[in-house]
């Protein structure tokens, strides 16, 4: 029986495998073995033959047997420990010595996030590659800027893409900055004192986590502090916001009355609507926007999980079986989907130019600036252009004619006015901004290698 759409509809196997129950049990055993190695090295427990446990790790923990025992014990970690003991064929008398359930659970979570880090870095690099290509190609392609849904000063499509590129550069930096705070585990026992390991508790935990490529928790209760997970999910949430922003922009620009970009649509086989065969809907961007909202919603329950009674309770346990796996699986899914959308995006540069040329008042900012440069007070210049704009709306006339025949014409010749009203001549530093955004992204990536 399949209930979750994660199983049947969303997510890539590469990411799902990180959170697969079999991988989880194998990682749990890996943590147990490394904890024993650290305890042996620190003289907490005697020398032990770890080969039987290593053999279980090589062949895989029996997930079916864990499930059987858990039905009896109602405790997943004890079911896991008993299964490993059975499979190893030895007493495993020091297995799980001085540890508690969340030493294993939380350290495994850190290892899963660590594996996901490699994937999301690759995802963002791929996204940046596509965005860099778009920024380069369209850095000088003019189009209407829009504020409040209304026509504003001209921009370029490359500049629009550069704003997205800059956001992903910052997300990448946040992931990197948060690594040491997020990838953290512990082996400090039931209330965080490491009491069964005497004065060696902190050193055992540090040694174990170092061998696993993690940082070690210091002052904590039974749980790794949940502000770490909250920070991680907030970063994923921020990434989802950027993807939602891009998807929303594509959806708006694809509206027929704008028609400046369009998602790839396979006209041979793809169906846009069950009722209206003519439809070409931006369903991929809509899917990204929809899942983005769900990802952001998962920050709230994770935030609530940071509040427990005393050193721990179970109020975090059930919800975290959803928050972290679902956030990771779906974040990867929507990043890779948006990368494909942008790679195959149809950019209608000619229609961008056509829409820009039709919107004569998109250069009202320039009109104000040109008057100011002629010595007209800035506020007075603004009022002159406002009156010209209202007249244009009322008369539905040609802007150049209105300018030349009115107060504006006192300051500028016919040819100067024609130059001023050409929106292609009012793009400012758009191309330089595009170049800088690309330079920033490439420089940052070089620093991460």
Residue 119 lies in a domain: yes
Q: Which residues contact 426 (CB under 8 A, 6 or more apart)?
A: 153, 154, 363, 365, 366
**What range defines the domain where residue 403 resides?**
359-425
Structural tokens at position 50? 């770890």
Whether 347 and 370 map to the same domain: the answer is no
303 and 394 together in one domain? no
Q: What is the pLDDT of residues 150-171, one digit of tens each?
A: 999 999 999 999 999 999 999 9
> Residue 432 and residue 231: Cα distance in Å, rounded?
34
User: Per the residue annotation, which of 8, 74, 148, 278 is the catalytic one?
Assistant: 148
154 strand-pairing partners: 144
3-state secondary structure of 311: coil
The 3-class secondary structure across 36-79, one letter per residue, is HHHHHHCCCCCCCCCHHHHHHHHHCCCHHHHHHHHHHHCCHHHH
Domain presence at residue 160:
yes
4-13, 55-64, 91-100: segment of lowest average pLDDT? 91-100
List, for residues 401-432, the tens digit of each pLDDT value.
Answer: 888 888 888 899 999 999 999 999 999 999 99
Q: Is residue 151 flagged as an active site residue?
A: no
What is the separation of C-alpha 107 from the centre of its chain, rounded to a whole number of angstroms?
23
Question: Can 273 be counted among the known catalytic residues?
Answer: yes
> Do 267 and 394 sit in the same domain of this protein?
no
Residue 438 located in a structural domain: no
Percent composition of the chain: helix, strand, coil (DSSP 3-state, to 5): 65, 5, 30
For the stretch 215-265, pLDDT in tens is: 999 999 999 999 999 999 999 999 999 999 999 999 999 999 999 999 987
**Whether residue 91 has pLDDT greater than 70:** no
Q: Based on the domain organization, do 254 and 110 belong to the same domain?
A: yes
The reply to whether 20 and 47 lie within a common domain is yes
The predicted model gives 87-104 an average pLDDT of: 88
Q: Looking at the domain assignment, is residue 116 inside a domain?
A: yes
Domain annotation covers residue 48: yes
What CATH code is carried by the domain that includes residue 168? 1.20.200.10
Cα distance between residue 370 and residue 412, in whole Å? 9
In a domain, residue 436? The reply is: no
Task: Return the pLDDT at 71.
Answer: 94
List the alpha helices (DSSP H) in 146-267.
157-182, 201-212, 227-253
Average pLDDT, rounded, for the chain: 93
Which residues neighbour 358 within 8 Å (Cβ) at sequence distance 6 or greater?
none
Say which of 17, 93, 273, 350 is annotated catalytic: 273
SS3 347: strand
Percentage of residues in the chain having pLDDT higher than 90 = 84
pLDDT tens per residue across span 8-34: 899 999 999 999 999 999 999 999 999
The predicted model scores a pTM of: 0.93
Q: In the numeric block, which tokens belong to residue 5?
A: 């759409």
Residues 264 and 335 in one domain: yes
Give the CA distances from residue 389 to residues 171, 290, 363, 394, 399, in Å, rounded to whole numbers and listed in that order.
41, 39, 10, 9, 8
């Amino acid at each position: 029986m399949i209930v979750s759409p994660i199983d049947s509809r969303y997510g890539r196997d590469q990411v799902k495998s990180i959170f697969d129950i079999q991988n989880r049990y194998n990682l749990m055993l890996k943590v147990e073995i490394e904890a024993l190695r650290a305890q042996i090295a620190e003289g907490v427990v005697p020398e032990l033959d770890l080969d039987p446990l290593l053999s279980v790790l090589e062949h895989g923990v029996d997930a079916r047997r864990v499930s059987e025992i858990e039905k009896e014990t109602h405790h997943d970690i004890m079911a896991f420990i008993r299964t490993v003991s059975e499979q190893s064929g030895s007493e495993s008398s020091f297995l799980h010595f001085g540890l508690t359930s969340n030493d294993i659970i939380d350290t495994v979570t850190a290892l899963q996030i660590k594996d996901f880090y490699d994937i999301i870095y690759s995802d963002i690099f791929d996204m940046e590659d596509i965005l860099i290509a778009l920024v380069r190609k369209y850095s000088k392609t003019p189009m209407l800027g829009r504020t409040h849904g209304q026509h504003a000063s001209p921009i370029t499509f490359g500049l629009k893409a550069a704003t997205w590129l800059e956001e992903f550069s910052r997300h990448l930096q946040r992931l990197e900055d948060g690594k040491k705070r997020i990838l953290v585990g512990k082996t400090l026992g039931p209330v965080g004192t490491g009491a069964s390991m005497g004065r060696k508790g902190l050193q055992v935990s540090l040694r174990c986590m170092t061998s696993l490529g993690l940082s070690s928790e210091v002052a904590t209760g039974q749980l790794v502090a949940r502000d770490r997970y909250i920070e991680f999910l907030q970063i994923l949430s921020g990434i989802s916001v950027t993807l939602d922003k891009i998807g929303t922009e594509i959806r708006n620009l694809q509206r027929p009355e704008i028609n400046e970009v369009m998602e790839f649509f396979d006209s041979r086989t793809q169906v846009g609507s069950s009722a209206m065969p003519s439809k070409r809907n931006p369903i991929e961007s809509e899917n990204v926007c929809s899942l983005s909202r769900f990802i952001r919603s998962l920050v709230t329950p994770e935030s609530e999980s940071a509040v427990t009674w005393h050193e721990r309770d179970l109020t975090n346990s059930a919800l975290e079986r959803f928050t972290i796996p679902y956030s990771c699986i779906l974040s990867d899914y929507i990043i890779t989907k948006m990368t494909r959308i942008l790679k195959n995006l149809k950019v209608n540069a000619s229609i961008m130019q056509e829409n820009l040329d039709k919107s004569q008042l998109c250069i009202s900012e320039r009109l104000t600036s040109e008057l100011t440069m002629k010595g007209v007070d800035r506020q007075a210049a603004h009022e002159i252009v406002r009156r010209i704009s209202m007249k244009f709306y009322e008369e539905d006339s040609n802007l150049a004619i209105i300018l030349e025949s009115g107060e504006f014409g006192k300051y500028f010749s016919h040819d100067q006015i024609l130059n001023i009203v050409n929106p292609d001549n009012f793009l400012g530093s758009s191309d330089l901004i595009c170049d800088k955004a690309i330079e920033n992204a490439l420089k940052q990536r070089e620093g991460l290698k």
